[in-house]
Amino acid sequence: MLIFMLVITSFAACGSKPATEEVKEEAKVEKVFKWNLGSEPKTLDPQQNSAHDGGMVITNTFEGLMREVDGKIVPAVAESYEISEDGKTYTFKLRDTKWSDGQPITAYDFEYGWKRALDPNLIPQPAEYAFQLFYIEGAQDAYEGKASLDDVAINVIDEKTLEVTLVAPTEYFLELTAFYTFMPARKDMVDKDPEKWAINPETAVSNGPFILTEYHLGDKIVLEKNQNYWQADKVNIDKSEVLMIVDQSTSLAAYESGDIDFVESEIPLQEIPRLQKEESAFRIYPYVGTYYYIFNVEKEPTNDVRVRKALTLAIDRKQIVENVMLGGEIPATGFVPPNLVDHEGKDFREVAGDYGIDPTKAQVEEAKKLLAEAGYPNGEGFPELEVIYNTNDKHKAVAEAVQEMWRKNLGINVTLRNQEWAVFQDTRHNGNFSIARAGWIGDYADPMTMLDLWLSYSGNNDAQWRNKEYDKLIEGAKSTTGEERFKMLYDAEKMMMDEMIVMPINYYTQPALERENLVNLQRTKLGHYFFGFMDMK
């Protein structure tokens, strides 16, 4: 018996490893990706969001029928799709995927999410991006209360088949289905708290590579790997801490000290020249977007087109981009940015022209003449206006430069006021301003992504400009193709620029600090970042 026990003990000792070794083998280093979002997003609700910051989070927590990967639009939740011969009906077959809580994703979730965006009674307010869905038959009428949501041509054939019929063939519709307004939504979760469901970890059920596990107001958002994501095997990051550092100098210091791994856009202007020389991880990407000021066309004196034109011509864009922006930006002479092409492959911006705006200097004499015609010779009697901008060092620097140019060149004074991002968005959207900073980044690679912003019924038409002829041009361009379509788009931009409802300042670039150990960091053609397949080496 003694011999038997000794043999058994011997085999056990030879066949097992010390407990400490087992712990070492099982221990896995958690990969935590930290990045700065900047301001706190107004919302993380896919159907309510209309801003880049909220979109950055949504892109990584939700997934639509399609997604851009490596520069190409590829099927995501949709396993396949068919397009009818007339180009108007899309039939999507959904793959077997799950929500983050394990429930299956069905075509009903897409139908609910899309129709939710069209609901004119959506809580807490109608979706600003609802117009993106107006390509679908019945969508606009439903949003305007002229028809029922049941009349919208979004049809569930079965739990894995979604059929959508468009008003007219739309070449970029598949691109749109990758956009956050087109994400699915879970009705049972939304109904629990229609206003705040998307920031509560208990209700923020999502279907992307990450899920929201913590939300700390004004501080940070914590995302963790979604184990139920259909491509979870490709998700290498265990946790992502999304910080809300508003001050750009603090954000840069956090990056340089190793506390964060990625900073996008929120980089101090004065540091850009140094970073270009010294920091190998510093990038400046081209960006399809325009930085501009909006005029409220319903308030005096910016309700006078001569005043709007005078203010527009009196600034020196070259000086602003070279001495203030510092990121390789291009002076803007129209609203549609470069790198969007027409039916002949020609750059829309080059064909459309500059609308009399000199990108290299201020046109002082012409601006003074227009201001005098409006009743304010040499700025005499001109009311003191207020320019509002969201809290940000760059926006402050631009506003101060414009303020001084208007004082020097036109003899007028304006005051400056900054607001926190969420408050600022509401102020601008509600028209409680005379002049406001703005920027628009394209959502898909077509000039329409910029121009349908100014439809009378667009939720993003903060200029409060309403023009039925403009509406006809944009609506016509959405239902035609080729040369006829682009003639309407060219005419539309000319109309809104002749009215000078905005003062274009520059076309964006996108500066970023991307730590060199980040592998397979995806940046879309339009400047959105996807971290789903990224790794940290």
pLDDT, tens digit, 9 for 90 and up, residues 267-325? 998 899 999 999 999 999 988 999 999 999 999 999 999 999 999 999 999 999 999 99
C-alpha 321/C-alpha 328 separation (Å) is: 7
pTM over 0.95: no
Does residue 62 carry a pLDDT above 80?
yes
Residue 445's CB is within 10 A of a number of other CB atoms, namely 17
Q: Which residue in the block uniquely carries the two structure tokens 């926190």?
A: 420
Per the listing, tokens 């129209």 go with 334
**Residue ranges of the chain that CATH labels 3.10.105.10:** 287-510
Among the ranges given (99-103, 304-308, 371-375, 459-463), the one the predictor scored with the smallest mean pLDDT: 459-463
262: helix, strand or coil: strand
**pLDDT confidence of residue 253:** 96
Tokens of 432: 């409680």
Q: What is the pLDDT of residues 393-425, one digit of tens each?
A: 899 999 999 999 999 999 999 999 999 988 999
Answer yes or no: is pLDDT of 27 > 90: no
Please state which of the four CATH numbers 3.10.105.10, 3.40.50.300, 3.40.50.880, 3.40.630.30 is assigned to the domain occupying 287-510: 3.10.105.10
pLDDT band at 221, cuts 50/70/90?
Answer: very high
By C-alpha distance, which of 449, 505, 447, 493 is closest to 467? 493
Mean pLDDT of 114-131: 94
pLDDT (mean) for 467-475? 97
* Inter-residue contact 269 to 394 (CB < 8 Å): yes
**pLDDT for the residue numbered 286:** 86
Please compute the mean of the pLDDT values over residues 99-115 and round it to a whole number: 98
Q: Where in the chain is the domain with CATH 3.90.76.10?
A: 33-242+515-536
How many C-alpha atoms does 306 have within 13 Å on its Cβ side? 13
Q: Kindly tell me if the per-residue pLDDT of 362 is higher than 70.
A: yes
Residue 75, preceding peptide bond in cis (omega within 30° of 0)? no
Using the predicted structure, report yes or no on whether residue 196 has a pLDDT greater than 70: yes
Report the topology of domain 33-242+515-536.
Dipeptide-binding Protein; domain 1 (3.90.76)
7-16, 203-212, 274-283, 501-510: the lowest-pLDDT one: 7-16
Place of tokens 């970029």: 172
Chain-centroid distance of CA 378 in Å reads: 40
Structure confidence at residue 330 as a pLDDT band (50, 70, 90): very high
Is 21's pLDDT higher than 90? no
Average pLDDT in the chain: 93
- Nearest CA among 446, 445, 427, 449 for reference residue 436: 427
Please report the pLDDT score of residue 398 as a whole number: 97
Band (pLDDT 50/70/90 cuts) for residue 67 is very high
What sign has the CA pseudo-torsion 347, 352, 353, 355? Answer: negative
149 CB-near residues (< 8 Å, 6+ apart): 115, 118, 119, 142
Question: What H or E segment, with its residue span, contains residue 415?
Answer: strand 414-419
